[in-house]
Amino acid sequence: MNNVVILPVIIPVIAGLMMVLFRKKIRLHRLLSVLALFALLLVSIFLILQIETVGIQVLQAGGWPAPYGISFVADMFAALLLLSASIVALFCLLYSFRSIGREREEHYFYPLFLFLIAGVNGSFLTGDLFHLFVCFEVMLISSYVLISLGGTGRQLRESLKYILVNVVSSSLFLVAVAYLYALTGTLNFAHLSVVVAKVGQEGLMTTVALLFLLVFSIKSALFLFFWLPESYSAPPTAIAAIFAALLTKVGLYTIFRMFTLIFYHEPQITHQFIGVLGAATMVLGAFGAVAFSDIKKILTYNVIVGAGFVIAGLAAFTADGVMGSVFYLLHDILVKGLIFLIGGAIIRLTGTSNLNEVSGLIRYHPYLGWMFFISALSLAGIPPLSGFVGKIFITKGTFQAEYFWLGAVGLLTSLMVLYSLMKVFMNVFWGETTLSKEKEKGTTKGLVLPISGLTALSVMLGLGAEVILPYVRIAAETLLVPSQYIKAVLGLGE
Amino acid sequence: MMEILMSLLVGLFFTIGTYLILSKNLMRIILGTSIITHGVHLLILTMGGLKNGGPPLLGESFAAFTDSLPQALILTSIVINFAVTALFLVLSYRAYKTLGTVDIEEMRGTADE
């Protein structure tokens, strides 16, 4: 039992609720939200250190023993994701101070932001399938409001589609939960793992597993990403960045949890299917990224490519593949957030997201340009940046599992990602400077600071990979040996 | 027997919900999502097993008790669905005021927004 495990969920909730009471006090909102996210950062570092020395941390809510109550479980995978989520949230928050606007701030932007983080953290930490659904809904309802906050025509239209897609997929989620409950009679992850291992993963169980895969594919933009490009380009930059960095990753995290802990008995069916989905996602996402000449569209399609790449490591299902996936997830959370923030800064300067109307920004904004360059290289996986480490492990994993096609697709789409981002870089930053300093539509004052902070961190993640890899290795090992998780949750007796 | 009837009912709910979601009117779509969610609730109830014991209360002398977990799940899900539907309705009203239509086809935007 460890009460610290629940802190990442309740800190943002309590801070958010306090802010709701004082609606007009924007300064208080800013202070409280920074403090809350900073506290989250410290808590997740504390959890990581504790997991490293003592092992998986568990909290049984209300003191009810495992299969009967709701368990909160922090293993290394969840804790690492908590850490990167709180980092990227902190920087998106700093970015929003100067860009989100008074109107949105007064309409509960900061509380909603924190509720979103609470939902994300809850999904990472929960050890119960139905509680996972509840955390998902907390996250989604906050995102519904955030995506429509401001109420422009485009935002409203996209939010309606976004809500519809998510409501339908949430219903399917519950259908899958109902079937699984009928088959196993439990909803606790660890207990589910034990029961599924005992009764065997027969045809019906695999069907339920695929239904879960369908649900989380919609949520994580794995193959079923039709809703993503439009809805992620509608909201303002800070919101789009946190969506791109975190929301799809929560879906990916759940796929990892379900298919390493519970449904790992038939990898030649489920994991191979996941691999096919991953490859298709990478190819389609990369084509989208190459095809458009709109910054927002290019970046949102890159989110989709990232989802496909992360899942390739799970499809391989080897130690190296899973390790690569965990590392790539951490990298993707930071760098996707970063590149969205930079893209937003460009649009703010020029007033347009069309590549053909912008050129030569590097003359007055060299830092912005080079930071975009660094994050583009990092996303494409150029050494020594952080994308490289993840990509090399994932590719190694797919080769070990003899999914050569999957590894090849991953590498080819990396080139397409590089091309799409270099297209942005060359169009926007090179060429004749058409926009004089006075004619700029907005200012990057206050925006460069969070961007450079996040750039520094993502470079450090690449250069300091040696420091982080031991933790990633622990995370991957825990994922591949479900008995550790089960033992921690259900106790030694079972 | 009861389970089969319930399953048919769940199927009917899903059919109606899907039909409504596929229509063009935003109001019908929202009602469709609501009906599908009700179908899901009945499904959870059916999947937990119907009528196999007394009420799950301590002190009652029954040999078997009905599983109370599905009911707890449904209660939670109803609350969430209630909140989401309310939000969805409010947003659609706002969209109607801003965009001037509830027809999905007419809502399709232009590139220069």
Locate the chain A residue with the closest alpha carbon to B49.
A182
Q: Which two tokens stand for residue B99?
A: 């965009």
Tens-level pLDDT at each residue, chain B (113 residues): 788 999 999 999 999 999 999 999 999 999 999 999 999 999 999 988 776 777 777 777 777 778 888 989 999 999 999 999 999 999 999 999 988 888 888 887 665 55
Contacts of B44 in chain A (CB under 8 A): 174, 177-178, 181
Query: Could you tell me how many residues make up chain A?
Result: 494
**pLDDT at residue A494 tops 60:** no
The ipTM of this complex is 0.93
Chain A residues close to B94, C-beta within 8 Å:
148, 151, 156
Q: Which residues of A372-382 are buried (b: 16+ CB within 10 A; e: fewer)?
A: bbbbbbbbbbb
CA A22/CA A29 separation, integer angstroms: 8
- CA gap A438, A381 in Å, rounded: 37
**What is the 3 state secondary structure string of A381-400?**
CCCCCHHHHHHHHHHHHHHH
Best mutation site among A175, A186, A192, A356 for testing chain B: the one with the most B CBs within 10 Å? A175
pTM for this prediction:
0.94
Q: Which residue of B has its CA nearest to A69?
A: B69
CB contact under 8 A, A156 and B91: yes
Strand, coil or helix: what is A60?
Answer: strand
Q: For residue A334, how many other CB atoms are within 10 A of its CB?
A: 24
d(CA A29, CA A107): 11
For domain B2-54+62-99, is the CATH number 1.20.120?
Answer: no
Instruction: State both tokens at A156.
Output: 């409203």
DSSP state of A357: G
Interface of A with B (CB under 8 A): 130, 133-134, 137, 141, 144-145, 148, 151-154, 156-157, 159-160, 163-164, 167-168, 170-171, 174-175, 177-179, 181-182, 187
Mutate: best of A139, A156, A159, A215, partner B, most B CBs <10 A: A156
Cβ contact (<8 Å) for A164 and B43?
A: no
Q: Give residue A444's pLDDT band: very low, low, confident or very high (50, 70, 90).
A: confident
**Predicted local confidence at residue B109, as pLDDT:** 66
Burial A137-174 (b: 16+ CB within 10 A, else e): bbbbbbbbbbbbbbbebbbbbbbbbbbbbbbbbbbbbb
The C-alpha of A179 sits at a distance from chain B's nearest C-alpha, in angstroms, of 7
Residues in chain B: 113
Q: How far is CA A362 from CA A90, A297, A342, A349, A443, in A?
A: 27, 22, 13, 12, 15
Q: Check: CB of residue A342 under 8 Å from CB of residue A377.
A: no
pLDDT digits (tens, 9 = 90+) for A311-370: 999 999 999 999 999 999 999 999 999 999 999 999 999 888 898 888 888 888 999 999
Domain map of chain B by residue range?
2-54+62-99
